[in-house]
Structure 1
Amino acid sequence: MQQTRDALHDFTTRYCDSWQRRTGHAPASQALAGVPSPCIVATQPDEVWWQPQPFTLPATLEAVERALDITLQEALTALYTTQFAGDMTARFEQQELTLLQVWSEEDFLRLQENLIGHLVMKRRLKQTPTLFIAATASEQEIISLCNLTGEIILEQPGTKSRTVLAENLEIFLTNLQPVTGSLADNG
Structure 2
Amino acid sequence: MENQEVPALAALFEQYRRCYGQPLAEHDAAEPSPAELLPAHGGRVAWRPFLRPEPGSFDNLGHALEMPVHASLTGLFGHYYAGHLPLCYKGLFVTLLQPWNSADFERLQQNQIGHQLMQRKLGLPATWFIATCRDEHRLVTLDNASGAVLLERLGKGAIGELAPDLATFLHRAEPVSL
Q: Secondary structure at the match of 1:162?
A: strand
Aligned positions of 1:59-138 closer than 5 A: 59-138=56-135
* Aligned residue type for 1:179: V
**Matched residues in 2 for 1:121 and 1:40: separation?**
34
In structure 2, the residue matched to 1:36 is: 32
| SS class of match (2:67) | coil
Find out whether 1:18 has 2:4 as its counterpart. no
Are the structure 2 counterparts of residues 161 and 152 from structure 1 closer, same or farther at C-alpha, using a change threshold of 3 Å? closer
From 146, 164, 168, the equivalent of 1:149 is 146
> Residue 57 of structure 1 contacts residue 105 of structure 1 at CA under 8 Å; is this kept in 2?
no
SS in 1 for 2:160: strand
Q: Percent identity?
A: 31
Kindly tell me the number of residue pairs found equivalent between the two proteins: 175
Partners of 1:33 and 1:43 within 8 A in 2: no
- What CA distance in whole angstroms lies between the structure 2 residues aligned with 1:58 and 1:49? 23
Kept after mapping to 1: 8 A contact 2:150/2:158: no
The answer on whether the counterparts of 2:52 and 2:79 sit within 8 Å (CA) in structure 1 is: yes
Q: Write out per-residue CA displacement over residues 4-54 of structure 1, whole angstroms, 9 at most, x where no aligned residue.
A: 11111111111122222xxxxx21123x44331111101134211111111
In the alignment, structure 1 segments of 5+ residues that lack a partner are: 21-25
Give 1:52's aligned residue. 49
- 2:134 & 2:86 partners in 1: Cα distance? 11
Q: What are the Cα deviations for residues 59-94 of structure 1, in whole angstroms up to 9, with x where unaligned?
A: 310111111011111111110012111000000001
Instruction: Give the deviation of 1:56 after TM superposition.
Output: 3.8
Question: Which blocks of at least 5 consecutive residues in structure 2 are unaligned?
Answer: none
Query: C-alpha separation between the residues in 1 aligned to 2:59 and 2:157?
Result: 27
Tell me the SS of whatever aligns to 2:157: coil
Checking the alignment, whether the CA contact within 8 Å between 2:4 and 2:75 is kept in structure 1 is no
Distance 1:168 1:104, change over 3 A: same
